[in-house]
Amino acid sequence: MRLLLALLLLVSWPARAEEVVLGLSQDSVSISTNFDGSEILIFGAVKREDAIPEDPPLQVIIAVAGPDQSVTVRKKDRRFGIWVNVEAVEIDAAPSFYAIATSAPWNEVISDVEDLRHSISIPRAIRSVGAPMDVSDPQSFTDAIIRIRKSNRAYQLHESSVNLREETLFDTAIAMPANLTEGAYPTRIFLTRGGEVVSQYETEIDVRKVGLERWLFTLSREQPLLYGLMSLAIAIAAGWGASAAFRALRG
Amino acid sequence: MQIYLPIAEVAVNAFLLLGLGGAVGVLSGMFGVGGGFLMTPLLFFIGIPPAVAVATEANQIVASSFSGVLAHLRRKTVDLRMGTVLLIGGLVGAALGVMLFNYLKSLGQVDLLVKLCYVVFLGIIGGLMFIESLNALRNQRSGKAPPRKKHNWIHGLPFKMRFRTSGLYISVIPPLIVGVAVGVLAAIMGVGGGFIMVPAMIYLLGMPTKVVVGTSLFQIIFVTGFTTMLHATTNYTVDVVLAVLLLVGGVIGAQVGTVIGSKLRAEQLRILLAIMVLAVCGKLAFDLLVTPSELFVVGATGGH
């Protein structure tokens, strides 16, 4: 029954004029001990039944996001001549990583309304509601997190970095830094014409710790007492080892 | 060589951490301090999340202090009896300190108070030590004998105990009070308290400088060991990979530091310690007074 329904849906789905067929150089990232960032090649083609529409030109936006986290942003201010944290705003959800690549300058590829609808640009990807009433300028806190994360390359906007050939083939490379958080990284591709989204496609890149990293992380969460004792045992053993080695060296 | 840290979730340069651990380990072996006050800001600087830095460093200090204590035990410069008395006081003090800290937090603006106290406190201790050791050094040069220890009201207190290694026969009450006071301060300020403990032992208890270093390290092992377990089981913030990288440097540094310390005279050791305390104080004051380049700080939810 359910299968039938699905089939019906599939058949009755209106055939879209232009659709994305996507490929990834890798659909998962394994974080091992010597992980030092990763570059993911995202490529694809535009599938269409009809001829290429004339105007306006086709544009592509690719957005890769890390898992959402809630973060606290604190602001320092001068009180009695001393700099102290005075205000704090909790941002409900900010992706740990966010990279956008477009095929043309930002304001040529998408309109503000469409950006708002699909939450594509960096400020739109951050959700902050309910800042405390006594905070004078809540927007400045969101701006701050974007500024700080852009400077350490956690947030990236690469305009005109998607290669688009014959309005059909496109590709880009997204550099993921070494400081990656584990989780599913939703990857979205939008096709736009004249600032309007004409088609979108969504997939996920799976970022996982493997091997020793996986083992230690799991141990620390599931057997914290054992993990703590192990850490202490390593510390004591190392301290004793260094002492014994020095005695042997000097004697 | 980049190494990815499983708990901190950042990649760091392994050699940088080895060097960092080594440098702090030398200070630890020389002066009997844990070195957390130096390590914490350095780890923040290379991008380790604050909660992970504080917890992991406790684990690393266990290693370098243990290494240092073994070196001092060989030289018979650890007063185990005094260390135990201070430790008992310290644990009681730490428990009181945590309660006091939570009370202050409920009043708000505790950060400012703590930092101000810290700067004032370090400034006074460092300044007094500096002047005292400079005078001692000068007297020695000009050939004057150091003033004899005077008997004062402390020697009139009951529960006397013989501390053979320190060459003291005093009541257990002053060491217990010193332990409690340092424990309270350490808990409020979030540091191990080594460089408050060391001057307190020298000036308040009148212990010989050489014995102070080993004894301080002895009690630091237990305090930081306890802290490590607490962080590992409640916050899950001990990163064992980071700890290993730091402690390999740390345990070697502690051995080197002990050797350097044994070659220096007590006055020289005290003057260097005073300079270090003043430098930390200066750094904190600098942070409070100078306009920061970035007014906003991004932190994970929770933690202070």
Band of pLDDT at residue A55, cut at 50, 70 and 90:
confident
Band of pLDDT at residue A61, cut at 50, 70 and 90:
very high
- The ipTM, to two decimals, is 0.81
Asked if the model's pLDDT at residue A14 lies above 50, the reply is: no
By the CB < 8 Å criterion, does B99 face chain A? no
d(CA B186, CA B37) in angstroms, rounded, equals 11
CA distance A107 to chain B (A): 29
Q: pLDDT tens, A216-230?
A: 998 988 999 999 999
Contact B300 A69 (CB under 8 A): yes
Query: B200: closest CA among B212, B214, B211, B189?
Result: B212
Residue type, B195: F
Considering the domain boundaries, does residue B304 fall inside one? no
Q: Which pLDDT belongs to residue B277?
A: 82
Contact A227 B240 (CB under 8 A): yes
Considering the domain boundaries, does residue B84 fall inside one? yes
**Sequence-distant (≥ 6) Cβ neighbours of residue A81 within 8 angstroms:** B289
Please tell me which residue of chain B has the smallest CA distance to A178: B11
Asked if the model's pLDDT at residue B258 lies above 90, the reply is: no
Q: Which pLDDT belongs to residue B18?
A: 92
Considering the domain boundaries, does residue B171 fall inside one? yes
Mean pLDDT (whole number) for A192-197: 88
Mean pLDDT (whole number) for A120-147: 81
Band of pLDDT at residue B192, cut at 50, 70 and 90:
low
Q: Which pLDDT belongs to residue A15?
A: 47
Asked if the model's pLDDT at residue A114 lies above 60, the reply is: yes
Among A73-87, B81-95, B261-275, the minimum mean pLDDT is found in: A73-87
Please tell me which residue of chain B has the smallest CA distance to A241: B67
Provide, as residue numbers in chain B, all residues whose Cβ is less than 8 Å from the Cβ of A247.
Answer: 74
Mean pLDDT (whole number) for A69-85: 80
Domain of residue B277: give its range.
Answer: 2-289
Chains A and B form CB pairs within 8 A to the count of 187
Tokens 């220096």 belong to which residue? B264
Q: pLDDT tens, B193-242?
A: 777 788 888 888 888 888 888 898 898 888 888 888 888 888 888 899 99
Domain count along chain B: 1
Considering chain A, what percentage of its residues have pLDDT values greater than 90? 18
Q: Which pLDDT belongs to residue B137?
A: 82
Q: What angle do CA B96, B232, B90 make, to 5 degrees?
A: 25
Band of pLDDT at residue A181, cut at 50, 70 and 90:
confident
Please tell me which residue of chain A has the smallest CA distance to B56: A231
Asked if the model's pLDDT at residue A231 lies above 90, the reply is: yes
The torsion angle over the Cα atoms of residues B276, B281, B286 and B289, rounded to 10 degrees, is: -170
Considering the domain boundaries, does residue B150 fall inside one? yes
B38-66: b (≥16 Cβ within 10 Å) or e = bbbebbeeeebbbbbbbbbbbbbbbbbbb
Tokens 């939703």 belong to which residue? A186
Considering the domain boundaries, does residue B269 fall inside one? yes
Residue type, B199: P
CA distance B189 to chain A (A): 16
Question: Cα separations (Å) of B64 from A1, A82, B70?
Answer: 68, 35, 10
Contact A73, A89 (CB under 8 A): yes
Contact A74 B297 (CB under 8 A): yes
Contact B115 A84 (CB under 8 A): yes
Asked if the model's pLDDT at residue B129 lies above 90, the reply is: no
Q: Which pLDDT belongs to residue B301?
A: 43
Mean pLDDT (whole number) for B75-103: 86
Considering the domain boundaries, does residue B297 fall inside one? no
By the CB < 8 Å criterion, does B47 face chain A? yes
Question: What does pLDDT average to over chain A?
Answer: 84
Considering chain B, what percentage of its residues have pLDDT values greater than 70? 90
Find the DSSP H helices in chain A.
Answer: 2-12, 106-109, 112-118, 122-125, 138-151, 211-222, 224-250
Contact A78, A211 (CB under 8 A): no
B158-196: b (≥16 Cβ within 10 Å) or e = eeeeebebbebebebbbbbebbbbbbbbbbbbbbbbbbb
Asked if the model's pLDDT at residue B47 lies above 70, the reply is: yes
Contact B185, B175 (CB under 8 A): no
Provide, as residue numbers in chain B, all residues whose Cβ is less than 8 Å from the Cβ of A231.
Answer: 59, 228, 232, 238, 240, 243
Q: Which pLDDT belongs to residue B303?
A: 33
Mean pLDDT (whole number) for A153-159: 89
